[in-house]
Amino acid sequence: MISIGFSNSTGGLKMITRKHLAIFKTVAKTKSMSKAAKLLYISQPTISQKIQEIEDEYQVKLFERYSKTLFISEEGQTLLVKANQILNLYDEIEHIFTKTKQFPLKIGATLTIGSTLISPILKKLKDKYQDITFQVYIDNTNVIEEKLLNNTLDIALVEGTIINQDLIVEPVIKDRVVFVCAQDYPLNNVKVMSLTELSLHPFIDREQGSGTRNQLDECLKNNNIFLEPAWQCHSWESVKQAVLNGHGIALMPMKIIENEVIEKSIQVINVNNISIERDFSICYHKNKSINKKMQAFIKTCKNY
């Protein structure tokens, strides 16, 4: 509510509200308190009271009555100019903040999700909530986490582990990560590979900061195994191309290589003691106000 403060005769601060100004403007336009009451669906005594409150506090007469008709005074004319300006400003503010498209939802996604899920999820969001616009930023988990913390992003869909206690993390989609190689990669008919055997092959890895790499490093650390990457890639497409061309073994989300597995250009390798299932999670700052646009995005992810 827009309001104007003013001091009364006792030194206290009172407020003239938008309602006062709207009533005053309508009375000035209709030149009648009874007509203003009908237009505003307010009782006539309330109209009279609000006009009286303004007059008492400013110690002015806003209207003069001649032959049952109200005529606005010079002081009333001065107030009417300012009242129109303030009411117009209020309408502008209301228009800005009721237009959903005015402020796009800033959505982050980690690289796996950016390569697979975010586009169809946002298509569903746009189909159901046509007034919502959005800006999308795709990068690795560390970068997305940083942008959520500094309020560059409103919300994100991430894989990997978020440690910062200032971020709310809510799992919404299940994901499976598997070791893969090209269909014609020389495995020497090995059906099940140990971690030690895996370490003898060139390994194609993601860059430092990737959620997938962090999960693999943690798993290898628990098993006292170290893999020196032969390739370090900043995108899943680079990893996939290196695998398809027989450069080594990689750990990849199943969602990214589903078609290649079906087409038998990539095969899944069974590695002992390694089974990685993870969640894709909604993530936002704990102090973030959850507006309708964020609620719509969260609901769309949960229903995907």
pLDDT for 229 beyond 90:
no
pLDDT score at 188 = 72
Record: fold of 175-276: D-Maltodextrin-Binding Protein; domain 2 (3.40.190)
pLDDT score at 1 = 40
pLDDT score at 2 = 40
10 confidence band (pLDDT: 50, 70, 90): very low
- CA–CA separation, 62 and 78 (whole Å): 10
pLDDT score at 5 = 47
Over residues 183-207, the pLDDT tens digits come to 999 987 777 888 888 888 999 988 8
- CA–CA separation, 148 and 46 (whole Å): 49
pLDDT score at 295 = 95
Q: What is the DSSP letter of 234?
A: S
Segments making up each domain of the chain, as ranges: 16-95, 103-171+277-301, 175-276
Question: Which candidate, 210, 213, 207, 219, places its Cα nearest to that of 273?
Answer: 219
pLDDT score at 231 = 93
Tokens encoding 187: 């495995």
Record: fold of 16-95: Arc Repressor Mutant, subunit A (1.10.10)
Q: What is the pTM of this model?
A: 0.57
Over residues 206-219, the pLDDT tens digits come to 888 777 777 777 77
pLDDT score at 99 = 60
Over residues 28-37, the pLDDT tens digits come to 999 999 999 9
Q: What CATH number labels 103-171+277-301?
A: 3.40.190.10
pLDDT score at 300 = 95
pLDDT score at 8 = 47
How many CA within 13 A on the CB side of residue 142? Answer: 8
Strand-pair partners of 281: 158, 171
Instruction: Answer whether 16-95 and 175-276 agree in fold.
Output: no
- CA–CA separation, 58 and 288 (whole Å): 42
181 confidence band (pLDDT: 50, 70, 90): very high
